[in-house]
Amino acid sequence: MNISTTPFRGLVIIQPRVFPDDRGYFLESWNKAGFKKAGIPCDYVQDNESGSVRNVIRGLHFQVPPYDQGKLVRVMKGAVLDVVVDLRRKEPTFGQHFKVQLRAKDHQMIYIPPGFAHGFRTLEHDTVFFYKCTRHYHKASERSIRWNDPDLAIDWGTDTPLLSEKDRQAMRFRDFDSPF
C-alpha cells in the first residue's frame, strides 16, 4: 500500500496494491499489521455503508468527545467528492477543508482522524460508500455543520443537492464551540 500525507495532520490517502487479471482484480482493503506499521489506527468497532443516487450530499457529520470517531472511508461503487473540515482548534488547519474525488475504480481510501467533520457528494447514480469507524455511533454525540456554510466556502460543484432534513437543519460553523 502507498500512503500519501495531506496538509492536515493525521489525514492520509491510502492507495492499496491492486492485482488485476483477466477475471477482474484483488486488493487487500485493510490489514491490521500493515496499517499499524504505517501509523494508521486499527481499532475499528463498526462498519457502515450507504447507497445514494447522484447529487446527494451527506454531511458534514461528526461525533463530539468522548465518542469522537476516526473513519477509514472508500467508495465501493460509483464516485464521490469527499470533504473533511478540521475542527481541531490547536491545529494550523482549523476551519479549513480538504476535498478529493474517490472513485470505486481507483480503489483509494482516506483515513480521517477524530476531530474532523466529514461529508461527501455523490457524483454517480447508485454510489455505494463504505466506512470503518473507531467508535460506535452515539446519537447524543452526533453533530452536523451546514454543507453550504459561507464561512467554510466549500465548492461542492452543485447548489441543489439532495439533502436529509438533518443536513438542512445543521448548524453554522461559527456557532460550533469545538471541544477538539
Active site residues: 61, 131
* 11: three-class secondary structure by DSSP: coil
Say if residues 79 and 102 touch (Cβ distance below 8 Å): yes
Is the CB of residue 136 less than 8 Å from the CB of residue 71? no
Task: Specify the residue for cell string 456554510.
Answer: 149
Give the per-residue SS3 of 76-90.
EECEEEEEEEECCCC
Q: How far apart are CA 180 and CA 177, in angstroms?
A: 9
- The answer to whether the peptide bond before residue 27 is cis (omega within 30 degrees of 0) is no
State how far the Cα of 82 lies from the Cα of 102, in Å rounded to an integer: 7
Q: What's the length of the chain? A: 180
* Residue 126 near residue 53, CB atoms below 8 Å: yes
Instruction: Decide: 93 and 8 in contact? Cβ < 8 Å.
Output: yes
